[in-house]
Homo-oligomer: A and B are copies of this chain.
Amino acid sequence: MEKPILRKAASAPKRNSDGARPEFAHWLETTNEITRGFLAAASIPGLINMAGGLPAAETFPAGEVAEIAKRVVTEFPAETLGYGPIDGLPAFRDELARRFSTPSLRLSRANVLVTTSGMQGLDLVGKIFLERGDLVAGQFPTYLGAIDAWRPREPEYRRLMFNAEAFDPVAGLAGAQFAYTVPNFSNPSGKLVSLEMRKALVAAAQQTGTWLVEDDPYGSLYYDDKPLPRLLDLAATDPANGVYDGPVIYLGTLSKEIAPGLRVGWVIAAPDVIEAMTIAKQGSDLCTSGVTQHIALATMQDGIIERSRPAILALYRERRDALCAAMAEHLSEWFEWEVPVGGMFVWAVSRNPELDTDRLSEVALQAGVTVSPSSVFDPELEYRRAIRVNFTLNSPERLEEGVRRLAQVMRTL
């Protein structure tokens, strides 16, 4: 659910020169500036982009989507081309409820909101829960898109360091409006949240009342093992009592399973959260496109997601292995990392605590390679010791060349 970081850092906009025009809202001054220089650089010939979180375009089932697009507009002209319900097409909501239900998790249409991308789910979470100064407890480091989405609401952040020995989930969640986590291959760290920690987080949410936002764009990208249970599954309320009403707010997307260009995502949550988010969505875009919703529904009904998955996993597994092999050969002098068992990223932490990866990123850009500096994943923009390296977009050969260029840069720093 992420655009290349290159476009991230337009800084606070300038005021008009006459000075008489009203100021922009204050939050615009707080956007991260570190990658500003990347903006102009996207056109550098031969640049190897390992900064973004982009899927490989060759995985898009374009031929099938093209046929589906024609079919659904022809079959459902009023539903695809007219205004639809704010909360989504009923048939699509039902399909999502069905797909995520289990014997112990009973979901109905009332648990499902269709969103215009996973990012809109984050925007709506911010709109319904956050006022200036409210507390977000965020898995650290934190997906920069979530920070972007919530910036206009001006929250405060508490860092949740799941891997710290002293981490106490109840203390971590208490007093926050919600806790935020990407449990599957966290963006940016690529790490899995363990089953024990998942259970502890759900228990802490139930104890403290704090909502638990589970952002899961990478949940299908397990390359080596079987998927762990979702927080949503672990928070299932007794189905005998009716539909799901637990503390987990689950955000899903088609961006990694079919194609990001559809901009179709969904939220699964307690009915009163869905109702509040529906009010917020009404003032955000009224409804998600009927064209893209019907395409998304058809890709599910036609089994395209399941048919496409093995090839996607094989492609990305090969690329992960190629990146990690190249890094082991060229970068282990300066960085350490764990080989991720899924997702799209390797998170590499500098052995030298003094390395400033903001600076590294700028120099690397001049050398024809981009990676994401860790500061953009810190709501306070302070943590500068790590880089996030994407492996899904580029071929093994280009990944290796990108790593070589990084090593070249490290020698000069």
**Contact, CB under 8 Å: A261 / B57:** no
Is A263 in contact with chain B by the CB < 8 A criterion?
A: yes
Complex: A56 Cα to B86 Cα, angstroms = 19
Instruction: Please choose the segment from A7-15, A90-98, A343-351, A365-373 that sits at the chain B interface, where 4 or more of its residues have CB less than 8 A away.
Output: A7-15
Are A148 and B62 closer than 8 Å at their CB atoms?
no
With an 8 A cutoff between CB atoms, is A192 at the interface? no
Of the A-B pairs whose beta carbons lie under 8 Å apart in the complex, a sample of 18, sorted by A's number, is A1-B286, A8-B282, A10-B278, A16-B245, A16-B272, A21-B209, A22-B129, A22-B176, A22-B177, A54-B82, A55-B82, A69-B291, A116-B116, A145-B283, A261-B289, A263-B289, A291-B292, A291-B295
The chain B residue sitting closest to A292, CB to CB, is B289
Q: For A22, give its contact among B3, B210, B280, B284 (CB under 8 Å).
A: B210
Within 8 Å CB of A129, what residues of B? 22, 24-25
Pairwise interchain contact B10-A279, C-beta atoms closer than 8 A = yes
- Hey, which chain B residues are within 8 Å of A116, CB to CB? 116, 263, 285, 289
Are B259's CB and A81's CB within 8 A? yes
* Cα-based distance from A18 to B79 in the complex (angstroms): 39
Interface: A262 (CB within 8 A): yes
Q: Are A260 and B120 in contact (CB under 8 A)?
A: no
| Nearest-Cβ distance from residue A65 to partner chain B, whole angstroms | 5
Give the nearest-CB partner of A293 in chain B: B261
A-B pairs with the 10 shortest C-beta distances?
A20-B209, A62-B77, A148-B283, A81-B259, A69-B69, A70-B70, A66-B73, A261-B290, A81-B261, A60-B81
Q: Is the CB of A74 within 8 A of B66?
A: yes
A188 at the interface (CB under 8 A from B): no
Q: Are B66 and A272 in contact (CB under 8 A)?
A: no
Are A275 and B66 interface neighbours, CB within 8 A?
Answer: no
Contact call B152/A127, Cβ cutoff below 8 A = yes
Known: A21-B211, A21-B247, A116-B116. 9 other contacts (CB 8 A): A10-B275, A13-B276, A15-B272, A60-B82, A66-B70, A69-B69, A84-B261, A289-B292, A292-B292
Interface residues of A in 120-179 (CB under 8 A from B): 120, 122-123, 127-132, 145, 148-152, 176-178
A interface with B by C-beta (< 8 Å): 1-4, 7-8, 10, 13-16, 18, 20-22, 24-26, 28, 31, 52, 54-55, 57, 60, 62-63, 65-67, 69-71, 73-74, 77-86, 116-117, 119-120, 122-123, 127-132, 145, 148-152, 176-178, 208-211, 245, 247, 255, 258-263, 270, 272-273, 275-276, 278-280, 282-292, 295
Q: Are B260 and A83 in contact (CB under 8 A)?
A: yes
Within the assembled complex, what's the spacing in Å between the Cα atoms of A62 and B284?
26
Q: Chain B residues near A275 (CB, 8 Å)?
A: 10, 13
B86–A57 touching, CB < 8 Å:
no
Given contacts A211-B22, A262-B81, contact A286 B70 (CB under 8 A): no
A211 CB, nearest partner CB in chain B, Å: 7
- Minimum CB–CB distance from A169 to chain B (whole Å) comes to 16
Contact B262 A85 (CB under 8 A): no
Minimum C-beta distance from A339 to chain B (A):
26
Contact A283-B15, Cβ < 8 Å, known A70-B66, A70-B69, A289-B289: no
